[in-house]
Chains A and B, each alone.
Chain A
Amino acid sequence: MKDERGRTRVVRTRNEFEGEVMEQLALVQDEDAEAWPEGAQLGIVGRAHRRVEGAAKVTGRARYTHDVRLPGMLHARILRSPHPRARVRHVDPSRALALPGVRAVLHRFNTPKTAFRGEETIFREEVRFVGDEVAAVAADTEETADAALDLIVVDYEVLPHVVDLEEAIDDAAPRIDEKGNVHDADRHERGDVKKAFASADVVVEGTYRTSTQLHNCLETHGAVAAWDGDQLTVYESTQHVFGVRQGLHAALHLPLGKIRVLCDHMGGGFGSKGGIGKYTVIAALFARELGAPVRCVLDRREENVAAGNRSATLQRVKIAGKDGRITAIAHDSWSNVGQARWVADPTGPTKGLYDVPSILAHAHRVVTNTGSLAAFRAPGYVEGTFALESAIDELADGMGVDPLALRRHHAEGAIDPVSKMRYSLKRLVDCYDIGAAEIGWSRRKRGGLRGSAPGLRRGLGMASQLWSGGGTPPAYATVHLNPDGTAVVRIGTQDIGTGTRTVLAQVCAEELGIDVRDVRVEIGDTDSTYAPISAGSLTVASITPAVRLAAKDAREQLLDVAAGVLEVGRSELRVEGGALVSRGGRTPIAKVFEDLDNYTVIGRGSRSPNPDDLVLKTFGAHFAEVEVDRTTGAVLVERVVAVHDVGRIVNPLTARSQVEGGVIQALGFALSEERVVDKPTGRVLTRSLETYKVPTVRDVPRIVVRFVDVPDTAANNVGAKGLGEPPIIPAAAAVANAVANALGVRIRHLPLTRRRVLDALAAAS
C-alpha cells in the first residue's frame, strides 16, 4: 500500500529563532499536504475548544515536576554565594555531613567535570553573582538539606564587583571580565544615516531605560533524577525535553539513548526553561552517587536570583524625519546580561519592523556580577520596541503629525528590509485599521484628553509588533488508531501552559475525521519522536503540520482498510465524525475494525522545510487607553486593544488566552515589575512576590483581542504561525506612548512607577 514516499532528500532551509536567522540543512521526508486555503470549511480547526487537560489542572490531578515523588527519593538544596564576586578557596563540608539525614555534599573540589553552558564545571572557582552555585547537599528531607547548607564552611576571597549596568559601562568600574565589561554584539547598517540626519527636517534623540524583569514562573525551576542501572530518567519542568537530554548528554558524557526526559504538565517557563539547569546536573550526580532518586527544585527566592531574567537596557535612539516620513534611525543599546555569553539584541525591531531607508543599529553586551539573562518572552524585542516606538512618537510630535499616520508610511512594504526577501504574508496595515477603529483613535489629541476627574489626564498610544513565528523543522509525529476509532497523537513536544495538547488534538481530529474527544495527545517524553523547543513562538507552526501529516497518513491507510473491509471503492469513501461515509451510508470506524482484532493503523508525519525564498514573520499592533493621575502618579490602563496577524488561528480560545497573558506580562514590565539590586552588596532585594510586583487580577484592564486570521498558506500546511511572543512585544510601548500623550511629558524609563511619574512631572514643572 505504501507509495514511493519513503524517499528522503536534503534541502537548505531558512529558520529563525528569537530574532536570529539560520540557514540550515533539512530533510524532506514526506510529501507535504496542500495548506488548507483561506475560507476552507473546517469543522474543528479554527473553532474554540476548551483545553483538553483543563479539568485535570483545576482538580489537581495534573502532575507537575514539583509533584513527582519517587520511592526512596532524597532532596537536594544548593548553597549559593553570598558575595557578588569571590574566589572559592576552600570548602569544608564536614559539619554538614555530620548532621543526621545528610547523605552527601558536592562542591568544586569533589565534583567531576560537568560541561555546562561553555564552562567545564557547575561549581566555578570564581563565583560571579550573589546566588551563584557553590555547593549542594543531598539529604533525607528538604528541611535537613536546608539546615545543612548553613553548616558548610566556605573560605572566600572577596573580589571587586559591579552590578549596575551604567556603572559597569563606566571605565572606573572594576573590570570583571578579562576582555572588559562591554562587548560588541550585533551591528547593522543600511542606507546613509549621516546624510539623512544632516538633511532632516526634524531630529529627535532620546535615552531610554528598561529594568530587569524576572520570569517568576509559577512552578519554579527544578528536576527529579533517577537511575535504573546505567539508564537515567529525569523529570524536569522544561520547555524542551530534547534540549534537557542534550544538556545531560554533554554534562555527564552519557549516550543519548541512556537518557530519558519527561515533562507532563508544566507551570510556565517564558523562555527560562530552555535546557538543563545546574539543579538538573546536581540531581543526576547525587542520584548516581547515592543510588536513589533525587529531587532538586528551587524556592522562590532562588528563582529570583539565579533562574534568569530579562536584561535591563540602556538605549539611545536618534531618529530623523523629513517630508512627513522617517528617514533614518540610529539605535545603540547596552544590555546587562549578568554573566551570560549572549545578548538579547534590542535593535531587532529597529532593523526590521519599518521600511526605513537608513538604519544604524549597534547592540552591546555588558557583563556584571548579577544573575544571567535567560530568554524571556520576545527577548530584546520587548525592550527594543519600547525605545523604538517611543522615539517614533517623539518624532511624530516634533513633526506635528499623527504617530499612527507616520507609521503607516513605513508599514506597507512587502519586502523584509533586512533580508531583502519577500514576506510570505504581511497584514500589518490591517492590524492598524482594526485597532484604530476599536480604540477610537480619531479621538486622540496631541497633549492628551481631559480625564474623568480633575487632575486626571487621558491618553491614547499605540505600537507595532514584529516577530518571527514561522516555525522550523525537524518535528515528527505519529498518530495511531485504536480499534475503537479513537486516536493517539504521540510527539516529543511539551505543553508549557499554552494549550499545545488542545491544538494538536484539534488538528488531528480535523484531518482524521474524528471527534476531538476521541484524540489523546501524548507529549513530554524523549522516547517519542523529536519536536523542537517550545519557545520563540515556534511550537504551533513547527508541530501542527507534522501532526496533520501523520493524521492524514493514518486517514489514508484507514481508507485503504475500509475499502477492503466494506468492499467499497476507496474513492467513494471519506472519514467524517468517526465514521466511514459513502453513498451507501455510515460505518463507524470501530465497526470497520471489528473483525480485524488488533491490527493497528500507524500514521507518521514530519515537518517539511520552510520556503527558501520567503520570509515568515508575524505582525501586530496594540492600542492602549490610559488615565494618569498627575497628583498621585497612578497610571490606570483602561483598555488594551491587541490585534495580531499570525496566520490561521487554530483555537480562538487558547489564542485569546495567549494574548491576554502576553498583555498582562507586558503591563507588569511597563508599570510595576523591576528587579532591584543593592549595589554595595550585590544582593537582589526583590526576591519575593511581595517586593517584586507582578500584576494582580485587579491590575488587568479590559483586553480586546482581535486577529486578522488569514492563513499563511505559503508558510506551512496548517497556515498558522506562532503567537507566544507577539502579544508581549508592543503592549509596554503602547502604554508608555499613551502615558506620554496623556501627560505631555515623556518618561523614558520603565516601569512607570508612581515615583517615576511624580519625579518626571516635578522635573517638568
Chain B
Amino acid sequence: MYEQIAFYLFSVLTIGLFLVTVLSKNLLYSMTALAAGMVMISGFFFLLGADFLGVVQLIVYVGAVMALYAFAMMFFDATRDVKEKNPNGAWIFLLGGMVALMMVLIFSAPIFSENIQAIYPSIAGATNPQSVGLVLFTKYLVPFEVAAVMLLVAMISGIILAGKKMDQSLTTEDDVLNTEIITEEDDK
C-alpha cells in the first residue's frame, strides 16, 4: 500500500518536474526543476531496494552535476529568458508523436519477455551495498577501472577547455575597450 502511494507520488512529481525542465523558458527554473527531479528519482531507487544507487544518485547527480551546471551558469546569462524560434508545424508534432509512441513501446517491450535468468543473482544475507561491492569488484572490475580513467580524462579536458583565457571577461567587452582607451591616451 505504502509502496503504491510512494510510487505514484514520485512518478507524478518526477514527470511534472521534468516537464518543467524541458518546457521552461528560464534556464534557472529549468536547472532547479531538474535537480528536484533527480532527488525524486533517487526516491525510486530507494523504493526498489537499490540503496547504494540512490545514494550515488543523490551525491553525484544532485551534488556534483548540478553544482557543475550552477557554476557553468555563472558564465552564461541565466536571468534572461531563452529566446528560441521554433518552426511551428504539424509535421514536427506528428513525427514527434510517432517517435514518442515507438519509444514507449520499445521501452515497455520487456513486459512480454519470459525466461529471463539472473546472471549475477543477489547474494543472500548481504545488504545492498555489500552485494554491490562484491559484484562490482569481481565481475565488473575492468569496466570500473575504465570508468575511472574516463572520469580522469573528462576532468582534465574540462579544466583545459574551461580554464583557457580565464582572466578575460566573457560577458562584457568593457575591459577591451578600457585598455584601448588607455593605450590611446598614452599615445597622445
Indicate whether A and B interact.
no
Binding site for B on A (CB under 8 A): none
Binding site for A on B (CB under 8 A): none
